[in-house]
Amino acid sequence: MLEIKNLSFGFGGRKVLEDVNFTIDEGESVLIAGKNGAGKTTLLRCLNGIFNNYEGQILLNNKKIEAKDRYSFGYLPSSLSFYDKMKIGESIDFHKSIYPYFSLITFPDYKLETNRRIEELSKGEKVLFYLILVLSHNPSYFFIDDILHLLDPYLRETFLNILIERMEEKKLSVIISSQTFSDIEGLPVKLIILDKGKIILKESVETLKRAFFKVTAKKIPEDLPVIYKKDWGDFEEGYLYPYERKKSEDLKMESVKLSEIIKSIIGGNYVKKRD
Amino acid sequence: MLKKEIKDTIGELLIILLLIIGLSFLALIKGVEFYIIPLLELILLLYPVFSGWSIFSREKKENSFEYLFSLPIGKNSILINKLIPRIVSVLLVLVIYLPLREYFASDFFFDKNIFIILYLLLFILSFSFSLLFNNIAMVLASITFFGMFMILIDMKVWKLLWYSDIYILIIIVALSFPIVFIYSFIKDDILPIKLFNRKFLTRSIITFIIVLVGLTVFIKLSGMNNYNYYMLTKNGKIIISDVKSLKVVDAETGKTILSIDYKVFPIVYKDDLLYGETEEKDKSKLISINLKTKEIKNIHEAEKYSFFSNPHINDNGITFLVREGGDYKSILIINKDKIRKIDFPKGAISGGVFLFKLISESPLCFIYTKYNNKTYKYENGKTEHFFTGDIKFYKNRMVLCDKSSFKVYERGNSEPVFAKNEGGHIFLKWFERPYEKRFMVVKLTSGVYIFDFETLDLHKINLKFKKDNSVVTGSFVDKTIIAIWNNNTPYITVMVYKKGRLISKKGYKSSFKKDKYIYLSRKGMMVIKWMKKYEFIKF
C-alpha cells in the first residue's frame, strides 16, 4: 500500500502541493485530474523520487520510501525524459542492469528495432517503447503522467487492456494523471482532483457516478446542487452533485461520463465554493 | 549504471590517449619537441576540465534528469557511479603522462608538482560547475577567473612566499566548491536546474567567502606570511632579514652588530658584502650591503619583477643569472668593483635552473642543471644535454655522479681525472649552492665517502645514513664538518674530519624538531626552523 500523508511541496517560494493525503491499494487505479498547474506532475515527481524535499511522508507498506523501493515503481513522465542518444537495444540492456527482474515483454503488432536510436522514434513510438520498458521490469505501482494521448487509439486500447490484465492478475496499481479521459473511462476506480496543490475531491468513480447528474431544463430550479451550469438561451444545462435522484422527478436527468464529471468539478462552482 | 558511465567515459579517454601517443611520437622528432610538449601539456590540462564538466552533460543535453532520478538508485550512488570512471580515467591519463614528461624532460610550462595540482584542481572545479554551465567555455572562463582572483588575493592580501603554501591554500579554497556541490546535490532537488544552481551558487559564494576570510585570519594570526631569511657567515655572523629590514648578529654572543631599515631580499654573501635584491617603483635592483660600514651600493638594475638568481661563488667572483619576464636574459659577473654583463643568446638557456656554472666568457660557454637533474652545456652557440645525475663544481674541476659511476673531470681534459665504477648520490642543499667547497660528502654503493677536490682523495667514513636523514657539510681550510639530522627528531650528529680522518663525533639537541635546516660555521651551527626561528649551537 502506498500512503501519502500530509504531503506539501514547493519551490521558488511558491507552494505547489499542500497537505495532500491519499492511499493507493494493491491493484487499485487512481486518476489524478485537475486544471493545468494544479500540481499533478509535481505530485507524481514527488512519488517517483525526482523531488525529495517535500514535507510530510510517502510510505510504502508503512515504511518511509527510499530510493531502493522504487524497484517496484514504473514511471512514464510527460517529458518523456530518457537517454535519447541510446539505441533501443542499449537502453534495454541499461534497464536490465538496473532492474533485477526485468523480462522484456512484447507488444502486439510492434517489433522493437534494437539498432534504432531513441531520438529517431516518433513521440508515439517513444511512449510505446517507454511503456514496454516499464512494464518489463514488472512494477507494482505504475505512474503515468499525461502522455497516453500520444498513442494512437488502437495502441491506447491495447495498452489499457494490458494494464487491466495486470491489475487483475498481478495486482498492479496504476496512477494516471491525464487531461483526456475517454479511453480510460473503464479504468479508474478512484478519482483525485487537485486544485492549486490541494485535493478538492477524492472519491471512487462508482460513488461519484451515482451522485452526479446532468439536468436539462428551461430554468433549473435554484434549490438543486448545481456545480456547473451552461445557459444555451432556450434552455439551461447543469451538473448536479451531490444529488440523489428521486423517482417522481419530472426534470430531464442523465447519467454523466467521467470526463464531464471532471470538467464540471474543475470548472464550476465546486472549486469556486472552496476559494 | 556504472557500465553506462564507463562507456560514456571510455570514448573521451581513448581520444586523449591517442593524442598522447601521437604527440609523443611527434615529439621524438628533434627540434619539434620544443613546441609539441607544451602543446600536449595544455591539451592534457583540458582533459580533466572536460571530464569533470561532462559528468552531467548527457543528462542536460538529452533532458534525462527526470528519468535518471526516477531510477531506484540513490543520489549518492548516482554520483559515485558517475565519478568513479571519470576519476579513474583522469588519474590514468596522469599516470601515463608523468613518465613521458620525465622521458622528454623538455621545457614544460609547468613544474611537475604544479602540473599535478593544476590537473586535479581543474577536475574538481569543473566537476563542481558541471550543472552550472551548459558549455565548457564557461567552465574554463570561471576557472580562469577563480585562478586570477586567487593570485590577486595572494599578491595583495596573503603575500605568501612559498608556492607550496599558496597551492595548499588555493586547494583548500577550491575544495569548498566540490564540497558544496556534493552537499547540494544530495540535499537539494536537482530539478528545476535553475533553482538548484541558484542555491548552489549562493552556498558556494558564502562558503568561498567564509573560507577565504578564515584562511586570511589564519595566515595573519599564525604569521604564515612573515618570513625571515637567515645566513651564517664563515666568521660567525648571523644575517637576519625580514625583507623590510636587515640585522647582523654575533652568533656566539647574540648581540646585534648592525641594523638597517632597508627592504632587501638577501641572496648571498661574500667576505663582508651581502648581495640582495630590492624593488623600487618601476625596477628591480641587485644591491650590495657592506656589513661593516652599512654602505649600500647599486650593482645592477633590471625591469620590475626581475630576479637575480643562481649565485655562484668562486675565486673569480660571483655570477648571477638575471631573470626578466620569466626568462633568463643575462649573466652578471661581479669581481670586486668590476661588473660585467653578458646577454644570453636566444634559446641558450631555459626552464628552471638549479645550478649554473660559467666556464668561459669568450667564447661563451656555460653549464646548467635543471631541477629534473638534467645538465646541459652551452658551447659554440649550441645547447646540448650531456649528463643526468648529481653534479658539483670546484674551481676547474667538476664531479659527475649518477647511478653507475662517480667521475671527476678537469677543464680541457675529456678523460676523467678520477673515476670510480660505482654510483650514488652527492649531498647538496639548496642553501649551499653558491659556494664551491673543497670537501664534499658522497654516498656510493659501498658506503659514505668524503671527497677532496684538491687531492682527489676519496676517504670512506664510518657513517650510517638513513633514507630520511639530511646532511650538510662545512668545508673549511683544515677540516670538514658534517652535520646529520633527522627531521622527526631534535637530535643532530656533528662529525669533524681532518684529511679524511674522524677527529670528533658529538651529538647535539636542537629546540626544533621538524622543518629544520642547518648552516655550519667553524665554531658552531645555526639551526633554522623553517624561516621562522633560529638558534645557534656552539661546538
ipTM of this complex prediction, to 2 decimal places: 0.92
Main-chain dihedrals φ then ψ at residue B168, nearest 5 degrees: -60, -45
Closest by CA position to B170, among listed B157, B186, B182, B184? B157
Whether the per-residue pLDDT at B449 is higher than 80: the answer is: yes
Closest by CA position to B420, among listed B460, B386, B385? B460
Residue B186 Cα, gap to closest chain A Cα (Å): 10
What CA–CA distances, in Å, run from A65 to A1, A31, A52, A170, B237? 11, 22, 10, 21, 75
Cβ neighbours, 10 Å, residue B229: 19
Residues of A in contact with B63 (CB under 8 A): 79, 81, 84
B530 CB-side CA count, 13 A: 12
Whether the per-residue pLDDT at A271 is higher than 70: the answer is: no
Residue of chain A whose alpha carbon sits nearest to that of B58: A83
Q: What percent of chain B has pLDDT over 90?
A: 40
Q: 3-state DSSP call for residue B172? A: helix
Q: What percent of chain B has pLDDT over 70?
A: 98
- pLDDT for res B434: 82
Contact B389, B398 (CB under 8 A): no
- pLDDT for res B346: 85
- The C-alpha atoms of residue A127 and residue A80 are separated, in whole angstroms, by 7
Among B67, B77, B189, the residue with its CB nearest the CB of A52 is: B189
Helix (H) or strand (E) holding B184: helix B163-187
pLDDT band at residue A184 under the 50/70/90 scheme? confident
With CB atoms and an 8 Å threshold, state whether B188 touches A12.
no
pLDDT band at residue B30 under the 50/70/90 scheme? low
Mean pLDDT of B148-169: 86
Q: Is the peptide bond before B192 cis (omega within 30 degrees of 0)?
A: yes
Whether the per-residue pLDDT at B82 is higher than 60: the answer is: yes
| A87-137 confidence digits (pLDDT tens) | 999 999 999 999 988 999 988 778 889 999 999 999 889 999 999 999 999
Whether the per-residue pLDDT at A275 is higher than 50: the answer is: no
Whether the per-residue pLDDT at B214 is higher than 90: the answer is: yes
- The C-alpha atoms of residue A265 and residue A34 are separated, in whole angstroms, by 9
The mean-pLDDT minimum among A56-70, A237-251, B248-262 falls in A237-251
Closest by CA position to B49, among listed B144, B114, B113? B144
Residue A179 Cα, gap to closest chain B Cα (Å): 21
CA A67 to chain centre: 22
Residue of chain B whose alpha carbon sits nearest to that of A85: B62
Helix (H) or strand (E) holding A73: strand A73-76
Residues of B in contact with A53 (CB under 8 A): 187-189
Closest by CA position to B510, among listed B530, B477, B485, B482? B485
Pairing of strands A190-195, A29-34: parallel
Residues of A in contact with B82 (CB under 8 A): none
The mean-pLDDT minimum among A182-191, B112-121, B275-284 falls in A182-191
Closest by CA position to B328, among listed B318, B337, B316, B320? B320
Cβ neighbours, 10 Å, residue A178: 22
Whether B64 has its CB under 8 Å from any CB of chain A: the answer is: yes
Whether the per-residue pLDDT at B468 is higher than 80: the answer is: no
Residue B35 Cα, gap to closest chain A Cα (Å): 38
- pLDDT for res B509: 93
With CB atoms and an 8 Å threshold, state whether B191 touches A48.
no
Pairing of strands B390-394, B397-401: antiparallel
Whether the per-residue pLDDT at A273 is higher than 60: the answer is: no
- The C-alpha atoms of residue B278 and residue B182 are separated, in whole angstroms, by 46
Count A/B contacts: CB-CB distance under 8 Å.
73
Among B1, B67, B187, the residue with its CB nearest the CB of A82 is: B67
| B174-202 confidence digits (pLDDT tens) | 999 999 999 999 999 999 999 999 999 99
- The C-alpha atoms of residue B274 and residue B271 are separated, in whole angstroms, by 8
- pLDDT for res B293: 86
Contact B435, B473 (CB under 8 A): no
Of residues B502 and B179, the one with the higher pLDDT is: B179
Mean pLDDT of A260-264: 88
Whether the per-residue pLDDT at B437 is higher than 90: the answer is: no
| A2-22 confidence digits (pLDDT tens) | 999 999 999 878 899 999 999
Contact B349, B368 (CB under 8 A): yes
Task: Calculate the average pLDDT of chain B.
Answer: 88
Q: What pTM was estimated for this model as a whole? A: 0.73
Whether B8 has its CB under 8 Å from any CB of chain A: the answer is: no
Mean pLDDT of A73-88: 93
- pLDDT for res A193: 93
Whether B188 has its CB under 8 Å from any CB of chain A: the answer is: yes
| B394-413 confidence digits (pLDDT tens) | 888 999 999 899 999 998 88
Mean pLDDT of A185-201: 87
pLDDT band at residue B114 under the 50/70/90 scheme? confident
The CA-to-CA distance between both ends of chain B, in Å, stands at 68
Residue of chain A whose alpha carbon sits nearest to that of B77: A67
pLDDT band at residue A270 under the 50/70/90 scheme? low
- Characterise B111 by phi-psi region: left (phi > 0), alpha (psi -120 to 50), beta (else): beta
Residue B68 Cα, gap to closest chain A Cα (Å): 8
